[in-house]
Amino acid sequence: MHFELSEEQLMIQQAARDFAQQELKPGVIERDEHQKFPTEQVKKLGELGFLGMMVDPKYNGSGLDAISYVLVMEELSKIDASASVVVSVNNSLVCYGLEAYGTAQQKEKYLKPLASGEKIGAFCLSEPEAGSDATSQRTTAEDKGDYYLLNGTKNWITNGGTASTYLVIAQTHPELRHKGINAFIVEKGMEGFTVGPKENKLGIRGSDTHSLMFNDVKVPKENRIGEDGFGFKFAMKTLEGGRIGIAAQALGIAQGAFELATQYSKERKSFGKPISEHQAIAFKLADMATQIEAARLLVYKAAWLKDQGLPYTQAGSMAKLYASKVAMDVTIEAVQVHGGYGFVKEYHVERLMRDAKITQIYEGTSEIQKMVISREVIR
């Protein structure tokens, strides 16, 4: 087994690290406080090629591997998970879905501007009652011959207000259950399509999370992705890759909190010496470092399997399940290491702790990941 990164991967990692420190860190507390979307920062991420990292260059992508993608996600998430989730959705869900299953026309019209960062995409699966259960879609798409008539509501949509292109999962043939579901490309501005108010969230407050309403929205037939009834399979295949991105985000949040806790423990003194020299703190740091390294290996393995064209369903779910737990555990401990200062915004760790929680919820809760893993293990 080979654990070293290539020279190109190291360069990409460093570029992401520099961007996070120079572009994301200044103002990150203010953006969190005021729920401000990182517009300028996302634009620059697009210019760097980070919004279409794994897309073929012929579609304006960077043509990089999944390992490079998780390296970027990790570095950005150390500083600002609100920005990294934009990268995650645009890469793992939207661009991947279009490149893997879209028609030549769809790739030309929609994938190219998304991969270049000219436009931002959103993946619309969750609903008020169905959540992430793709088999229970209440949003409907009635076949009208030349077009589909879309009606329904989607919840918790990342990039909901800033996106221009939306991949929407809807039910066309209720009697066929999951085999009657379709996936559609919907454009902002289509008549009957409205964006609800921005959600006031616990964490990733800078990200753009909205409900979306569809009221007799006419979607052209050519905007359906795949054959009639392909929507459920499309959603499941797309989410498999999305879990790797979220696992990398969780890993980055944990690593960022760990680095802050380690630095603080060397500077803060009690009883005449740095608190890092007290066994109570040293053991915390040891546990945190071990958990993070274990999570990193799971995340990198899942990305490597994807790069090799090997099955990665189980590996992706394991990475997402474990890394999100580590993110929560480590950020809580990082706040504890900081003591009272950990409760203060200017020390960053309280924000990282709030951001960590969402990694256990989106792209399928921890319970859903356990269902996926157990199914794969039994199989």
Q: Which residues are catalytic?
A: 363
Residue 76 near residue 44 (C-beta atoms within 8 A): no
Instruction: Using alpha carbons, select from 249, 262, 276, 280 the residue that is nearest to residue 352.
Output: 249
Tell me the residue type at 160: G
- 284 with 268: CB under 8 angstroms? no
Residues 333/288, Cβ–Cβ less than 8 Å = yes
Distance, in Å, from the CA atom of 73 to the CA atom of 68, rounded to the nearest integer, reads: 9
CA distance 127 to 134: 9
Is the CB of residue 51 less than 8 Å from the CB of residue 91?
Answer: yes
Rounded (5°) CA angle 352-167-373: 60
